[in-house]
Amino acid sequence: MSNAKRNNPPSTELAKAFTEALAPIVRHGREKRRYVAAQTKVKKAMKSERPTQRGHPRKHIDWEAEEATLHGVKCFW
């Protein structure tokens, strides 16, 4: 399992897979702009969900675990 896959929650992976599935369809005009906007939203979401801190190595969060402590708050998936 790659590092990126481990650090991304399942919701982001689903969104990424969805945009990749739509990628082969050729788009024009407004449809193309909407697709590009959707892609950038996914990329931004992936960036914000990455558990990184400035000056610190990337922290690994086990998203598969039933409960993960994030910022000192227990999250139940």
Q: What is the pLDDT of residues 23-39, one digit of tens each?
A: 666 567 777 787 778 77
Average pLDDT over residues 2-6: 57
**Least reliable range by pLDDT among 2-6, 25-29, 56-60, 66-70:** 66-70
Task: Judge whether residue 56 has pLDDT over 60.
Answer: no
What predicted TM-score, i.e. pTM, was given to this entire model?
0.31
> What is the rounded CA–CA span in Å between residue 76 and residue 61?
13
User: So what's the pLDDT on residue 37?
Assistant: 81
CB proximity list for 51: less than 8 A, separation 6 or greater: 7, 58, 59, 60, 61, 70
Distance spanning both ends of the chain, measured CA to CA: 20
C-alpha of 36 from chain center: 16
